[in-house]
Amino acid sequence: MTGHGCFGHYLHRVARREPTPSCHECGAVDDTAQHTLEECRRWDPQRRTLVAEIGGDLSLSSVVFAMLSSERSWEAVVDFCEEVISQKEAPRRMREEAVNAHPLRRRRGGRRRREYAARLLALGGGG
């Protein structure tokens, strides 16, 4: 609902973990939460199951209304989200691991991260 998560749009523009906002599943230019819910052909089977339960209007307001109208609809939305997101996260993790495995591309610990680690060590919480 917030747009945060395994979506190219978020991972590119906010988290800065993807080079483009495009969808790795279908190649769409902008992989948003709404794209994943309504458009991406990769999730057609899961979407058909969801639509059979809550109806064909997958706008945010309609999905929220359906979720609040019955426990069965709530479960249908949860099932869709859990299945799709878990399948989107696995390849994302693999892409990140591949990038981080290269010694020149490994993420550096920023100043704040180093300062936080130093404070933890000073407090005896370093492990």
Range of the domain at 46: 8-122
Q: Quick check: is 49 in a domain?
A: yes
Q: Quick check: is 2 in a domain?
A: no
Q: Quick check: is 86 in a domain?
A: yes
Q: Which of 8-17, 18-27, 98-107, 118-127 has the lowest mean pLDDT?
A: 98-107
Selected residue with higher pLDDT from 47 and 94: 47
d(CA 48, CA 27): 21
- Averaged pLDDT of the chain: 86
CA of residue 106 relative to chain centroid, distance: 22
Q: Quick check: is 61 in a domain?
A: yes
Q: Give the gyration radius of the chain's Cα atoms.
A: 19
- DSSP 3-state assignment of 61? helix
Q: Quick check: is 1 in a domain?
A: no
Are 59 and 52 spatial neighbours (Cβ–Cβ below 8 Å)?
A: no
The total domain count for the chain is 1
User: How is residue 5 written in tokens?
Assistant: 């998560």
